[in-house]
Structure 1
Amino acid sequence: MAEAAVSSRISEQYEFMETHGWGQASIVPLVPDASFRSYKRLSLGGEGRMLMDAPPNYENIHAYLDVTAHLRSLGLRVAEVHAEDRTRGFALIEDLGDDTFTRLLAAGRSSLDLYLTAADTLVHLHEATGATAIDLPAYGLPDLLREAALFVDWFAPTVRGAAISLQEREDFLGAFSEALEGVAADRRVLVLRDYHVDNLMVVGEGDNAGCALLDYQDALIGSPAYDMISLLEDARCDVREDVRAAVLARYFAQRPALDREAFMQDMQVLGAQRNAKIAGIFVRLSRRDNKHLYLKHMPRVLGYIARSLEAPVLAGVRSSVQSMLPEFPFVSF
C-alpha cells in the first residue's frame, strides 16, 4: 500500500480498537506472512487479544469469521472472536499464545506426539457430523488446475530461462486434468488447505491441553487426502518416514471404512498438484514481490513433486515435466 493508505489504515485500526475498549492497549506487531493479513498482539490490564487486519481489497475476512464459527460448532478449537468489523476488515480475537507445533518442534517436543495429535484432529474434522454443511465452494477441477498452472506459468520458465509454449502448457494441464479427475469430484470433507505445523497450536496444559487451528479462511469442500498431504509434505520442514507412517496408521485405524489404496493414490495426485502450486508461488513471491525467503524451501518442494510423479496415475504429468525440464528436479532457480 502507498504511504498515505498505510497511515489511513493504521488510523482505522486505532478507531476499531478504541470502539471496543482496547484503544489504550500496548501493541506488538507480529511478523507478517505471505498474505496481506497482519496481526498485532494487544495487552491491556493483564488481558490479551490479537488484532487481525484483513484489508478488504486483498483479504476475505467474512470467510475467516464464518469458517471460525463453523469449526467451533463442530467442537474444534479455534480462536474466540471478541469483536469484528467485516466492512473494514478487522477482528479482535483470542490470543492463543505462541505454542505452534513449529515452535514446539524446534524446542525439542516429540514430533511423533505432535503429529499424532494432528492426525487425531484431522479425524475429528473428517468424522464430524455436519462438517460440510457450510456454504463453501467445492475444491473442483478448475481450481486445482488453476493452481497447478502456477508451475508452468512461473516456475518452469524461470528454471528454463525461456518461455513455456502454449502447447507445452496445454500438455501439462491436460495430463494433470486426467490424473485429478477422480479426486476433483470428491466432496466428502471440509478441506482447510493449509493444514501443517505452522497452523497448529497446543493450547492449555496437562489434561486440558488441546490442538487449536489457525489459517483456515480459504477452506473448501473436497477430498480428505488434501489436508493429510498438506500435513505430511510440509514445504517448510521434513517429516520423518516413521512419523509419516505412524500418522497414516493412526488415521486409518480411526476410519476403518476408508479405502486405503484409493486414499493413498489421492494423496500422491494431490501432493503433486499442491507442491507444483507451491513451487510456482515461491518463484512468484521472489520475482514479482521481491520476497526471496521462501526459495530456501524449494529443494524440499521439488523432492515432494518428484516422489509423487513416480505414481503410475501421474505418468502423463511426469512425461510433460521431463519434456519441459529434462534435469528436473535437479534444477537451478
Structure 2
Amino acid sequence: MNRQQQMQQWLSEQLTTINPSAGAGFKVESASEDASFRSYHRVTQGNKTWVLMDAPPSHEDCAPFIEIQKLLFENEVCVPEIIAQDLSLGFLLLSDLGSTLLLGELNDNNADDLYGKACDQIHLMQSITSNASNLPAYDEALLTTEMNLFNEWFIDRHLGVTLTDNEQATVSAVQQLLIDNALSQPQTFVHRDFHSRNLMPQVSGQMAVIDFQDAVYGPLTYDLVSLYKDCYIAWPEDQVYQWVDSFRHEYNQKHQSNHDQATFLKWFDLMGAQRHMKAIGIFCRLNYRDGKKHYLYDIPRTMKHLQITCLAYPELADFNRLLDKIQPRFQIA
C-alpha cells in the first residue's frame, strides 16, 4: 500500500468515528508544505474541514509536535487541536485554522495591530513555567550546530569558498560571541521558528501559532527576532526597534524584571545574527539537498538583516569584511 492509499484508508477510519452522519465521502486537497518532509492536506467532508499532517515516520517524528501542542494548548496559546493521531503511520488530523498567513496580511496600516497579537502569543509562551525547562536546551552545542550550517552549506557549498585559517578564526570568534550572547539571556520557552509564515490571523482576533514541534528552552529574544527580523519580510529599523522596546516594557511588567533598553536591543540584534546565519545555511541546504530552489530567493533579504547588524557592532566588523570579500555584495539601504 502506497502513502496515498494509507492516507485515504486512515482518514476513512477516522472520519467514520468523528463525523458518522456525513457518510463515507470526503475530499483531500494539498494545503501546504514546509521546509521539512512534512506536508499538509485539507480534508473536507460535507460542511466540515480538518487539516491532515503527513509526517512520514522514516523522516519525521510526530511525538514532539503532540507534546508541545499539549503544553501550548494547556497554557492558552492559540494552536490547532489534535483530533486524531497515529504515530506509527505519521498522520495527525488537526483542527482547521484556515489558510490565511500573517505574511500575506501585513501592511503599514495593520502591522502594529497584527504584530501586537503575535507578541501576545510570545508572552503566553514565555509565561509557561511548568515543563518548559524540560524542553531540549538551546545550548552551546545546538547553537553551534545551527551556525555551522552557514559554513557548510553557504560558504562551502553555495559560494564554493575555502576559508584560510585566519578567516576561519574570524568566523569561529563571531560564532562564540553569538553563543555567549544567547546564553547570557534569561532562558524561556522558545518556539524557534516564530515568523510570518507560521502565524495565522483568526476571525476570533487571535494569532494562531503553527509549526512549533522544534520548541526548545532558550534565549528570551529568539522568538522576538524571528518575528521582527523575519527572513520573509523587512521593516524599517527604527520601526523594528520601537516594536522591540514596547515588548521589553511589557515583558518587564509581566515578569517583574528590569531589563534596560541597551542590553535588550543588543541581545536582540546579536540573537538575530545567529538566527540569520542558521537560516542562510538552511536555505542553501533546502536547495542543494532537497531540491527546493525557491528558498534561495530569501537569502538576499536574510543576508541584509545580518550585514546591517554587522555594521552596527564593532565586534562584528571583521566578520562583515569577510562577508563582503567572499560573496556578491548585498546593498545596505
Q: TM-score range with shorter-chain normalisation? A: 0.7 to 0.9
Residues 244 and 182 (structure 1), Cα distance of their counterparts in 2 relative to 1, 3 Å cut = closer
1:235 equivalent in alignment to 2:231: yes
Q: Tell me which residue corresponds to 2:182.
A: 183
Whether contact under 8 Å (2:54, 2:92) holds in the other structure is yes
CA 1:211/1:324 → structure 2, altered by over 3 Å: closer, same or farther? closer
1:247 match: secondary structure: helix
- Confirm whether residue 14 of structure 1 aligns to residue 8 of structure 2: yes
Aligned position for 2:61 = 60
What's 2:304 paired with?
303
Quick one: structure 1 residues 158 and 103, their matched pair in 2 at CA, closer, same or farther if it must change by over 3 Å? same
Tell me, what secondary structure is at the counterpart of 1:309? helix
User: Which residue of the partner structure matches residue 116 of structure 2?
Assistant: 116
Letter matched to residue 105 of structure 2: L
Question: Is the CA contact (8 Å cut-off) linking 1:100 and 1:201 kept in structure 2?
Answer: yes
Distance 1:258 1:230 in 2: 23
Q: d(CA) in 2 for partners of 1:164 and 1:289?
A: 25
Q: CA offsets, 1:196-227, max 9 Å, x none? A: 111111223xxx42111011110000011100
Structure 2 letter corresponding to 1:215: D
Distance 1:277-1:226 versus aligned 2 partners, 3 A rule: same
Match of 1:3 in 2: none
The CA distance in 1 between the partners of 2:194 and 2:10, in whole Å, is 30
Map 1:1-333 → 2, pairs under 5 A = 8-21=2-15, 24-105=25-106, 110-130=110-130, 132-133=132-133, 135-158=134-157, 160-165=159-164, 168-169=167-168, 171-184=170-183, 186=185, 188-204=187-203, 208-241=204-237, 243-256=239-252, 257-260=257-260, 261-312=262-313, 315=315, 317-320=316-319, 322-323=321-322, 325-326=324-325, 330=329
Question: Structure 2 CA distance, aligned partners of 1:64 and 1:266?
Answer: 28
Q: Is the 8 A contact 2:248 2:259 kept in 1?
A: no
Secondary structure at the residue paired with 2:311?
coil
- Residues 25 and 44 in structure 1, CA contact (< 8 A), matched pair in contact too: yes
Moved more, 147-156 or 223-232: 147-156
Which stretches in structure 2 are left out of the alignment for 5+ residues? 17-23
- 1:18 Cα deviation after fit: 1.8
1:289 Cα deviation from its structure 2 partner = 2.7
Amino acid at match of 2:127: E
Describe the shift of the 1:101–1:266 C-alpha distance in structure 2 as closer, same or farther (beyond 3 A). same
Aligned residue identity for 1:309: C
TM-score, normalising length: structure 2: 0.87
Q: Whole-Å Cα distance in 2 between the matches of residues 29 and 179 of structure 1?
A: 39
Counterpart contact for 1:132–1:188, Cα < 8 Å: no
Q: Residue type of the partner of 1:290?
A: G
- Larger mean Cα displacement after TM superposition, 182-191 or 164-173: 164-173
Question: How far did residue 179 of structure 1 move?
Answer: 3.6
Report the alpha carbon displacement of residue 328 of structure 1 after superposing the two structures with TM: 5.4
Q: Taking every aligned residue pair, what percent have the same amino acid on both sides?
A: 27
Instruction: Give, in whole Å, the separation in 2 of the partners of 1:179 and 1:45.
Output: 52
Aligned alpha-carbon RMSD (Å): 2.5
| Distance in 1 separating the partners of 2:183 and 2:132 | 16
| Bigger mean CA offset, 231-240 vs 62-71 | 231-240
CA contact (8 A) 2:38 2:53 kept: yes
Please give the secondary structure, in 1, of the residue aligned with 2:132.
coil
Distance 1:209 1:324 in 2: 42
**Shift, 1:277, TM fit:** 1.1
The answer (yes or no) to whether the contact 1:188–1:221 under 8 Å persists in 2 is yes
Q: 3-state DSSP class of the match of 1:215? A: coil
Report the TM-score when normalising by structure 1: 0.87
Cα distance in 1 for partners of 2:235, 2:127 equals: 25
